[in-house]
Amino acid sequence: MTTTQRPVAEGLFTWPPAAAPLRLIGSECRVCGLVSFPAAATCVRCASDESKERLLADRGTLWTYTTQDFRPPSPPYDGPEAFEPYAVGYIELPGELLVEARLTEPDPQKLKIGQDMRLTLVPYTVQDDGTEVMTFAFAPAEEETP
């Protein structure tokens, strides 16, 4: 049985995963050089509307983090009813920007500031028709399989 998947939102990361290496999709202002995520048509620094799409680095370092130990209020949260705590953090993509993201490791004892992280996809929720909604997250780089 094949599971149907879709991204949580169009334009956040390269999709489908098999078509190209996984990358977040940002933008870079042609006037002042500001890198933004998610991609923005107008620069928040100089208000220019001259931006170009830019694929961001797929690795970075954990800048800071916290844990989400309770189910966020609905709406706007529309994730699964069976809530499992998770960690969120800022990942510093070298020479680009800080990205706020879910972390795959929920145990704060296994996370440390400065830790190497890599981009990955994780299930966000499953729709009534069985479609798995995928979102981006960062995982400790040492979790990689050889």
pLDDT at 146: 45
Residue 96 structural domain: 58-141
Q: Is residue 1 part of a domain?
A: no
Q: Is residue 120 part of a domain?
A: yes
Tens digit of each residue's pLDDT (9 = 90 or more) over 37-93: 999 999 999 999 999 999 999 999 999 999 999 888 888 777 777 888 899 999 999
* Bridge partners, 126 (sequence order): 132
Q: In the structure encoding, which two tokens stand for residue 100, read together? A: 């706020």
Q: Is residue 69 part of a domain?
A: yes
Q: Is residue 41 part of a domain?
A: no
CA dist., res. 61 & res. 72, Å (int): 26
Q: Is residue 85 part of a domain?
A: yes
Q: Is residue 9 part of a domain?
A: no
CA dist., res. 52 & res. 41, Å (int): 8
* Bridge partners, 35 (sequence order): 28
Return the SS3 of 110: helix
Task: Give me the number of domains the chain comprises.
Answer: 1
Q: Is residue 99 part of a domain?
A: yes
Q: Is residue 106 part of a domain?
A: yes
Tens digit of each residue's pLDDT (9 = 90 or more) over 105-132: 999 999 999 999 999 999 998 898 999 9
